Structure 1
Amino acid sequence: MARSGVQYEDVQRAIDTLLQRQETPSVQKVREVLGTGSFTTISDHLREWRARRESNRDTPPTQVLPEALQRGMAELWTEAQERANQALSHYREEADRRVAEAQEAADQARRQAEDAAQRESTLAEQLNRALARLEALGALASRLEAERDQAREAEQRLGKEREEWKAEVTRLRGELEAREAAHQQALAEQVAAHRRQLAQEEQRHEAAESRLMALLDEARQQRQADDKQHRERHQRLEARLSRLDSQLEEQRRLAAEAEKARQEAQQQADRVGQQRQAEAQARHDGEARLESLLAARESENAALKGQLEALQGQLAALQVRLAEGSLPPFVY
């Protein structure tokens, strides 16, 4: 809304003066002609003048000439009117272009004003936050100063305690060095005694190893002898079994002959029957004896096999204990 300081007629007279100078009217130039007035008021009157001129586009604008020009240029008035009418179209185009530019500038200025207001609001908010932060920092600084004083007192107290601890550490270090020296001496003596004991253990171990090797040789020889004895017994049993097989075969042959004789001589049935009973009893006895011999042979073989496995287990245990070095020391 226009202010009461500058009226529309004042702006119109300034515009006429600018047109007489063949200058395009603008807010800045109108204000220079008037010498006063706000840009907003002049802009509103200038916009109203352009609106009126646009509505009266086909009517040439009336020119209010100063009295001095009316007296001095009466003869040129007609020529000026004709030139004004000729230049009217040019001014109109130029005015339209300038109006568009002014409108765009006004819109841009309005946007800039809105941006400025927004920035002002943002800056005010930031200022309030900064002031609050400053107050908080002031309180924090006061609290930190109090804590600093307390820390200084604590530091002084800790300094005294540190000196006392240094003295205590020095004393304890001396005691520790003395104990360390005594410990090193005792450790050296213990190491020497351990080395002597280790040498003795190594000697005993070597003797035990020699004796163990002798026992292993003896066990190996005993196993070879047992193996030989087992083979000999096995051979004897094989021979004995072969003889029993021969006897059994002979008895079977005799039985066959007896059966044949019984068939051939029915008249001798009683005698042959008795003989067959006797032969059957003998065969039964032979088979019983053969089964007994076979069972005895299997029992002997199982016993020999158990003895061999026991000797092999003992030998393996001796080898393991020899490898682990866990044999007990020999008693001399």
Structure 2
Amino acid sequence: MARSGVQYDDVQRAVHTLLSRGDAPSVQRIREVLGTGSFTTISEHLRQWRIEREENRDQPPPQEMPEALQAMTLELWRQAQETASESLALYRHEADQRVTDALEAARESERRAEDAGQRESAVADHLAKAQIRLEEQSATLASCQAERDALGDRETKAWQRVKQLEEELTRLQVRNESLTAQHQEALAARDAEHQKHLHQEEQRNEAAEARLMSLLDDARQERHAADKQHVARQTQLEARNESLDRQLQEQRAQLADYRQQHREANWELEQRKDQDRERRQHEERLERRLEEKDEELAALKKRLLETEARLANTPLPPFVY
């Protein structure tokens, strides 16, 4: 609060006195003019005078001032007006330049945003096409997997057929061995029976040699009949042996056919294996292509994220009212 000793009017008159001298008003000079007053009070009145001067800066000075002071004040007021006009023009020029720069920056930002939007649209289209190609390749891979499963089933069936043929071949070999054993047994039995018959004949001949001398002709006839029987039986055995040989040849021919079928089955199995290897190579190529597409898709996603990050970090132009 200002002291009651120094009033605002006193400070105002001291300020006018200083201005008439051409001095700038200050607290110290005002106190020197007044010869009294505290610095706080003078400072408060001087601040109030400056506020009023700012509010009335566009108004001409009052006419009741002395003529010399009035002329000087008018000159100072005119100079202040010119300086203010020049400053205002310069400020307006700078403001217009800043507005122009801001508009150009805004247009550049808009162009960049449009370019970014176009790039984003192109990336989205490329991403959609890549997704379509990925779906097509997924369908192709699923078809290849189904074909592989079908080939696997056919391979399993082929292996089962091979096993069946091997089992049949084993049965035929066992049967052939059984027939061969029977033939050998029949030959051995025939020889044993022949030897037995000869032994019996020799015993009968030795025992009845003396007694049968008189019956030599009868014995010769019996021997001739026995020889005929032996020949007939031997003929039967040989015919049976030939029949067994023919059966053995037929079994061997069947065995050769089964072996040929086994070789053909093995050849077909090798063909299936070659096809399976080719199919696996095709699947590996498809998998590599899928991995390349996944890497390309990941790169596109990364570029899209970087584009979004750049768009998010792009400063927006200031609002112009």
TM-score (norm 2): 0.41
TM-score, normalising length: structure 1: 0.40
Q: Which has the higher contact order (CA 8 A, sep 6+)?
A: 2
